[in-house]
Amino acid sequence: MRFKSIAAFIHLWAGLLIGSLIVVISITGCITVFNEEFFDLFHRDLVRLKVEAGNPLSLSVLTEKAEQALPEGNKISNIEIYAADKSYVFIAQKANKKAKGLTYFDQVKYFRKVYVNPYTGEVLGQINAKYEFFNVVLQLHKYLLLKKAIGSLVTGVTVLLFLLMLITGLIIWLPKKIRNIGKKMKIDLSGKFKKLNYQLHTVLGIYVLPFALLIIFTGLTWAFKWWESGMLKALGGNTKVTLANVQPVPAIAPLHGIALDEAFLALKKQASGNFESIRIHIPAETEKSVAGYITLRDSGDGWLGMSYYSIDQNSGAIFDQIIHKDKATAMKWRNSNEAIHTGRIYGWPTQALAFFASFICATLPVSGFLIWLRKRKK
């Protein structure tokens, strides 16, 4: 009994301390689960293409057209190409490293996305992603709209305390006799609000526990390096495997023109048609190499398939790579972490599980607060 009393004390005060933050993180998590689908739905004119005859224009030509559509001084740093009938996305993004403010908006100098029809070269439109709804929701979810260094610490500590609440909640819920577990797993919908609210808090908390733990364990990876390292070690890997990111010979200018086309062709050859997307990151620093990413349509092993490539900015040739099939389990998990966190790993069925788990997590602080409020009034 003494042990349960301590657990109840921790559970209560942790809930009062972080309850409102858990509601915000969980609700924004619900939205983030389906953010790509919702974005495509609301921006079909930018994203979706009619089937066109012929071959796409060269990537260098399309990049020039996208650059012309951007405000002066905005430089393209990322290009996203999809296998499906979708437009190419050219991203201009730069952080404001000298910003003195504390918010997400202070640390972003510019963040724009230009959508281009690859067959005609038509610029379909652009979005100021810095203020775009689903990106703001994501930043609220991950950092509470604070600067990354501050926000990741606040959300990380909040989620650790939520983990403690789930553990103490389980301790409080456990019956003295195992045979009574079945009775405590039922919700009586015909009861009065007081009883119903209590059962919704305790029973839903138990049902959602395994899914919430999975969301927590994957989410903490972005908050704390020591958590990420611990997860990698637990899965048999000591450290993250990294690519060479230094140019063999310093580049005269960032990847462009024929070299950009050669890089794209090299990545397409590596993908052999088995890809969902190809992404190219072009650093502003000419001493750093370009990074290419291929997300596979079929990884063949249940993980999110992703291969990484280092590309020479001068020639567009690949000079280092990490292929998905050659990765250890720890690295396959790390590359799949976000897809597991959002439920996107196996499509809409697991996304639906992540959505409902996040929604239930959002209700727990509310129902718990109502329980405490009624007891306090007594």
Asked whether the predicted pLDDT for residue 233 surpasses 70, the reply is yes
Largest CA distance in the chain: 76
Asked whether the predicted pLDDT for residue 240 surpasses 90, the reply is no
Residue 253 is predicted with a pLDDT of 86
Q: 298 CB contacts (<8 Å, ≥6 apart)?
A: 274, 305
Q: How far apart are CA 291 and CA 313, in angstroms?
A: 10
For the stretch 320-334, pLDDT in tens is: 999 999 998 999 999
Please tell me the least confidently modeled range out of 90-104, 139-153, 173-187, 207-221: 173-187
For the stretch 102-125, pLDDT in tens is: 999 999 999 999 999 999 999 999
Neighbouring CB atoms inside 10 A of 325's CB total 11
Asked whether the predicted pLDDT for residue 341 surpasses 90, the reply is yes
Asked if residues 331 and 241 have their Cβ atoms less than 8 Å apart, the reply is yes
Q: Indicate the pairing of strand 123-128 with strand 318-322.
A: unpaired
Nearest to 76, CA basis, from 280, 292, 291: 280
Asked whether the predicted pLDDT for residue 127 surpasses 80, the reply is yes
Asked if residues 175 and 186 have their Cβ atoms less than 8 Å apart, the reply is no
pTM of the model as a whole:
0.91
Residue 378 is predicted with a pLDDT of 64
Please tell me the least confidently modeled range out of 65-69, 102-106, 147-151, 242-246: 242-246
Please tell me the least confidently modeled range out of 133-142, 249-258, 336-345: 249-258
For the stretch 258-285, pLDDT in tens is: 999 999 999 999 999 999 999 999 998 8
Asked if residues 92 and 112 have their Cβ atoms less than 8 Å apart, the reply is yes
What is the rounded average pLDDT of the residues 199-221? 95
First-last CA distance in the chain: 22
Structure tokens at 326: 């050659």
Residue 160 is predicted with a pLDDT of 97
Q: How far apart are CA 305 and CA 335, in angstroms?
A: 8
Q: Which residue has the tokens 């590359």?
A: 335
What is the rounded average pLDDT of the residues 20-27? 98
Highest mean pLDDT among 14-28, 180-194, 248-262 belongs to: 14-28
Q: How far apart are CA 120 and CA 105, in angstroms?
A: 35
Asked whether the predicted pLDDT for residue 228 surpasses 80, the reply is yes
Nearest to 277, CA basis, from 91, 127, 122, 79: 79
Q: Radius of gyration over alpha carbons of the chain, in Å?
A: 24
Asked if residues 132 and 36 have their Cβ atoms less than 8 Å apart, the reply is no
Asked if residues 201 and 361 have their Cβ atoms less than 8 Å apart, the reply is no
Nearest to 89, CA basis, from 76, 104, 74: 76
What is the rounded average pLDDT of the residues 165-169? 96
Residues of 171-183 as b/e, b for ≥16 C-beta within 10 angstroms? ebbeeeeeeeeee
- One-letter amino acid identity for 306? M
Residue 239 is predicted with a pLDDT of 60
Asked whether the predicted pLDDT for residue 138 surpasses 80, the reply is yes
SS (H, E, C) the chain: CHHHHHHHHHHHHHHHHHHHHHHHHHHHHHHHHCHHHHHHHHCHHHHECCCCCCCCCCHHHHHHHHHHHCCCCCCEEEEEEECCCECEEEEEEEECCCCCCCEHHHHEEEEEEEEECCCCCCEEEEEECCCCHHHHHHHHHHHCCECHHHHHHHHHHHHHHHHHHHHHHHHHHCCCCHHHCCHHHCCCCCCCHHHHHHHHHHHHHHHHHHHHHHHHHHHHHHHCHHHHHHHHHHCCCCCCCCCCCECCCCCCCCCCHHHHHHHHHHHHHHHCCCCCEEEEECCCCCCECEEEEEECCCCCCCCCCEEEEEECCCCCCEEEEECHHHCCHHHHHHHHHHHHHHCHHHCHHHHHHHHHHHHHHHHHHHHHHHHHHHHHHC
Mean pLDDT, all residues of the chain: 92
What is the rounded average pLDDT of the residues 306-331? 93
Q: How far apart are CA 96 and CA 133, in angstroms?
A: 21
